[in-house]
Structure 1
């Protein structure tokens, strides 16, 4: 029998990328605050991530969670990131533990380390180089409150793994676009994540064995300044796309 997977924030771009390739691979329970406008696989739950009771109820009978829901705006104010991204993520981790869920894949973000890009000591990261590549061992350096909330989610995941043995992988997602990388935007090309690589990466998050992991979610771009070595090694991630192929 296929794993039963709860996908929060199912209507967003990351959710769309995952379902485009993996609709038939799992038994899906999809959660979003708005009802669907198109046919989607599995069961759909209309609920807000800030509703603890609804989140806990959605966990019943679930094997694994992909947690995407939250306020995705880089400029989101504190009140919103606190309620939607921090409290909501806490509800997901606690609900997973209470329901006996085996693993949670948490959608973190490049914004959790965005301030490295504005540090004058950081080398030029828009051309390929070997001397500077973030690999997940560095401390978070958020450049906005949204990034703060994602760093907090990573720390919550660490706690729930250490305290309760929950398998947790945090994926610092880069720039997800459909079809091709951003045009005339070097930073976006360096951190590009294609739709099919996104689906493959989260598929590996559901299938691999791990304790607590923090990986970068980008395609195999020539210009990358995030390392995907850990995702390859621990998850078996094998990206197929490269932004340089679209030059």
Structure 2
């Protein structure tokens, strides 16, 4: 992609993983909620996605948006997710469409389908269980944060249908830097490594699609999210697997 890419929520954990892996792959324009501690090596802005004028400035001249910004807390209160996650996503879509942005990659979440879990645990997290969510199921949010992420997917559906912008919603699993959480079955089942996170977002920026919902995890032996749509629609080829860890020592491919 020759045009700049806007990355909102650049100071967060997912933003850090993307920039760690793709810092030189794109001409990034970064949006931080508050001023970064160190001067970024890319163009950046500071502010909130609910600021319509700032979002118009942020989207001006960019070819794609990777939208991570919002209140990330699973226990975030309704007023916060309504303003920051739902309304903020709508404000950013408005600015992107007005600026002629072609592609919008949205950070959805496992919490958008969190209520599929209680009735099936703990087998759901184990390799012998064949239950898989594939992105075609209706959302079953597990909290207000999950509701906001499901709403963001629906907002994207509207803006794709109404304005033709390409939209990829990535239901991100459990992103950790070094290894999946040991002795925590759920965390291993939905683990996403940093390099797979970066690769998946690069695939979403480069592939041709109209509207997609995919799951963002590594290729774990234990998983209840299907990766088939991410592989088929985006060309995602995850490198990591939570089963490659024994205790705190990695025994699989080098990271």
TM-score band w.r.t. shorter chain? over 0.9
| Contact 1:56 1:91 (C-alpha < 8 Å) held by counterparts | no
Give the C-alpha shift of residue 129 in structure 1.
3.6
* SS of residue matched to 2:117: helix
Structure 1 outlier segments of 4+, above 2 Å: 38-41
Residues 205-220 of structure 1 aligned to structure 2 (within 5 Å): 205-220=204-219
Give the C-alpha shift of residue 2 in structure 1.
3.0
Partners in 2 of 1:62 and 1:245 — Cα distance? 39
Partner of 1:38: 38
State the Cα deviation string for residues 104-136 of structure 1 (Å, max 9, x = none): 00000000000000135x782111146310000
Partners in 2 of 1:164 and 1:49 — Cα distance? 20
Partners in 1 of 2:94 and 2:128 — Cα distance? 41
Give the C-alpha shift of residue 197 in structure 1.
0.2
Partners in 2 of 1:76 and 1:124 — Cα distance? 28
How many residue pairs get aligned? The number is 246
State the Cα deviation string for residues 55-77 of structure 1 (Å, max 9, x = none): 12110001000000000000000
Give the C-alpha shift of residue 41 in structure 1.
3.0
Give the C-alpha shift of residue 181 in structure 1.
0.6
Give the C-alpha shift of residue 94 in structure 1.
1.1
Name stretches of at least 5 consecutive residues in structure 2 with no aligned partner.
Answer: 247-255
Matched, 1:60 2:60: yes
State the Cα deviation string for residues 157-196 of structure 1 (Å, max 9, x = none): 1111111000000000000000101122110000000000
Partners in 2 of 1:36 and 1:206 — Cα distance? 25
Partner of 1:172: 171
| Contact 1:18 1:199 (C-alpha < 8 Å) held by counterparts | yes
Partner of 2:22: 22
Partners in 2 of 1:130 and 1:168 — Cα distance? 31
TM-score normalised by structure 2 residue count: 0.94
| Contact 2:130 2:224 (C-alpha < 8 Å) held by counterparts | no
Partners in 2 of 1:148 and 1:85 — Cα distance? 10
Partners in 2 of 1:14 and 1:27 — Cα distance? 18
Matched, 1:197 2:196: yes
Alpha-carbon spacing, 1:37–1:228, altered in 2? closer, same or farther (3 Å): same
Partners in 2 of 1:140 and 1:207 — Cα distance? 26
Matched, 1:163 2:167: no
Name stretches of at least 5 consecutive residues in structure 1 with no aligned partner.
Answer: none
User: What do you get for the CA RMSD once the two structures are aligned?
Assistant: 1.2
Matched, 1:125 2:136: no
Matched, 1:102 2:98: no
* SS of residue matched to 2:139: coil
Partners in 1 of 2:199 and 2:30 — Cα distance? 18
Partners in 2 of 1:199 and 1:39 — Cα distance? 22
Partner of 2:138: 139
* SS of residue matched to 2:204: helix
Partner of 1:75: 75
| Contact 2:3 2:61 (C-alpha < 8 Å) held by counterparts | no
TM-score normalised by structure 1 residue count: 0.97
Give the C-alpha shift of residue 11 in structure 1.
0.3
